[in-house]
Amino acid sequence: MKRWSFVEVFNKVGNRNIRLVLSLIFILLATGILMALYEMALVVIVPGLTVWQSILYDIVFTSIMAPLVALFILLKFEMLYGKISKEIEDRKRAEEALKVAKHQVELYLDLMGHDINNLNQIALGYLELANSMVKDDEVKVLIKKPLDAIQNSSKLIENVRKLQKLEAGDFKIDVIELNSLLVELRNQYLNVPDKNVIIDYAPFQDCYVMANGLLKDVFSNLIGNAIKHSGPSKSVWIGLGLELYKNGREYYKVTVEDNGPGIPDVQKKNVLERFQDENPKTHGTGLGLYLVKTLVNSFNGSIHVEDRVPGDHTKGTRFVVILPAIDK
């Protein structure tokens, strides 16, 4: 069994206040031991001392030892003060460096969000004009590739800016009626060009949660991904579910499911993480679904992905969003 010395124990203590208390205890113990040794030595060396002689010797010894102990304590405090002062200075420098780095990041994000996005919009305008003018289907396919890439770039920039604002606390939490939000999104996505979109949803009235305007982005992203990655099929089916359930308290469970190609089991655990590779056969991971997860977490909720048909991922995907229910 390993024996710890006082110095080893002292060095392992991270809290400065505890280390200071330990130092004072050590000084008092050392002083007490020294006094006891002095008294023992005095009895041996000078036997037969009277009470007054013993008191006189004690006064002389104390007058010598007290300044030494005080000097030791002073030096110890000075060492600790020096370390604390250095830590404070280091922390101040680190905070200043962090402020500079944060300012630079915000500058780059503003540059990306404004100037680069403006360039994207110009490119989109020309590509859409070219796409409307050509008649050859093969040329239209070639135009659609960069068109989709630039649209994805603009969406990525938009998501980054939303994440930045979310971290900065720019979005105020308020009461949101969940049912009307889902009805609005269903009506919006029923009219998608080149796709026959069917969205089944049974309204569930008076469902209130604490969130902000970005809650719409959560379900818009999930529904949009289901349509975007539905494969070559012209027909897309999406099921929206909303129900109240209790698990210690009341929650609303919103499900967004589809009959698309699904997500393999090996990809499910990472599909909501940041900067996953885009896979045209799945629901498009990347920053979009990471934004969804971040937003849901900020609303004190949770999200997970599962097979629409348990055990068979090829039959479609189901995203399940859990949000705490409130009474208005």
Provide the residue ranges of all domains of the chain, joining segments of one domain with +: 6-95, 100-168, 174-324
For residue 55, pLDDT over 90 is answered with no
Amino acid, single-letter form, for residue 160: V
Closest CA to 212 of 323, 320, 287: 323
Contacts of 48 (CB under 8 A, 6+ apart): none
What predicted TM-score, i.e. pTM, was given to this entire model? 0.59
**Length in residues, the chain:** 328
Contacts of 221 (CB under 8 A, 6+ apart): 288, 289, 291, 292
> Given this model, what pLDDT does residue 209 score?
92
Of 63-77, 122-136, 140-154, least confident by mean pLDDT is: 63-77
Q: How far apart are CA 84 and CA 95, in angstroms?
A: 16
The better pLDDT of the pair 114, 135 is held by: 135
> Given this model, what pLDDT does residue 57 score?
60
> Given this model, what pLDDT does residue 233 score?
64
For residue 200, pLDDT over 60 is answered with yes
Confidence of residue 26 (pLDDT cuts 50, 70, 90): low
What digits encode the pLDDT tens for the residues 207-263?
Answer: 899 998 889 889 988 998 888 777 666 677 888 888 888 877 899 999 999 888 888
Select 174-324's CATH number: 3.40.50.300, 3.30.70.580, 3.30.565.10, 2.60.40.10: 3.30.565.10
By percentage, how much of the chain surpasses pLDDT 70? 66
